[in-house]
Amino acid sequence: MNLDNKKILIVGGTGSWGQALTRQILDQYNPKSINILSRCEQKQVDMERQFNNKLLKFHIGDIRDKDRLLEVMGDIDIVFHLAALKHVPICETHINETVKTNILGTQNLIDVAKYYNIKKFILISTDKAVDPINTYGLSKALAERIVINAGYICIRAGNVLGTSGSVVPLFYKLAKGGHPITVTDPYMTRFSMYLNDAINLIFKALQSAQSGEVYVMKMDSYLLKDLAELYSEKYKVPINIIGTRAGEKKHEILVSKYEFGRAEDDETFFKIKSMTSKNQSTSTQSFQSNTTNIIPKNELKQLLEEGGWL
C-alpha cells in the first residue's frame, strides 16, 4: 500500500518506534499528514521541534478516552497503534491500569476505526504476547486477538536494541555511572532487532499482509551474560545477580508451537495465518530466543559500539 496522499495516525507516536516510523514515512512517501496522538505534552513539544515539519499534527489524548478518539480519527486513512504500558514490573503491580490501556484502549481504537470505516490498522505487538506468563504479555495477547478479530493486522517484534523497553539503556546508565550491573539471570536470552529493520517490517506487512495475519520478523538473540560482561569490562563495575523478577521468562518466544502449523516461512519473516485458516495442527517447532542464532560476544560488542551504547 502506498502512503502517498494518505492521512496517517500514529498512536503513541512520540516514542522511539513512533519517531522512527515518522521519519521513514517522510523519507519514503509523500503523506497528506502524519497525526501524532499521545499523552505527554513535553514529548510532543520536543518531537515537533526536532522534526520541524508542517505535515506533522500533534494531538494530546489517551486511548482510554473514546470521545477523544472520535475527535481525532474522523478523516484518517491508516492507523499505526504503538501505545501501551509495556514495562513488565510496572504492569505486574498496576494490573487494572494495564488492562485499561492495553486491552480496553485497543478495543476503543478498533471501535472508532470501524465506526469511520478505516481500512488499514496495524498493531505493534511483542514477543511477550506468545505463551504469556505476565500481565503485560497477557494484555498484548488479548490486544492481538482484538485486532485480528476485527480483520486488521499485527506485527510482533522482539526487543529493539537501545529503545526504552530494552535492557541496554539500563546497563549503560548503571555502568557509566559507576554502579554495579544488576542481572536477574545471566543465562537468559533475548531477541534483538534494529529499529530500522522493525520499521521495514511494518512497511512489508502494510504492502502484503492479508486480513487477520500476524507478521513476525526473524531475528538473532543475545545472552544476557554476554551483554552484562561487556559493560562490566568496559566500565570496571561488578555484576550483581539479583534473581528472576515476577513474570519474567528465561527465553522469549515469537512463534509458538501452536502457531507454527499455520505460519508461512519467508526468508526474513514468518506470516501467521488467521486462526480460522484450515491448518490448525500443533507443531513440535517454535521460534524462540534460545534456539535461534545467538550473537557471539565480540559481534554484540560491535553492535553496541555502532549504536553508541558502549
Three cell numbers written together for 9: 495516525
Distances (CA, A) of 53 to 2, 5, 48: 20, 16, 7
Catalytic residues: 128
Please list the residues that pair with 34 across neighbouring strands: 8, 56
Q: Give the integer Cα–Cα distance in Å for 163 and 184.
A: 19
Burial 54-79 (b: 16+ CB within 10 A, else e): eebebbebbbeebebbeebbeebbbb
Three cell numbers written together for 301: 560488542
Q: Give the integer Cα–Cα distance in Å for 5 and 20.
A: 20
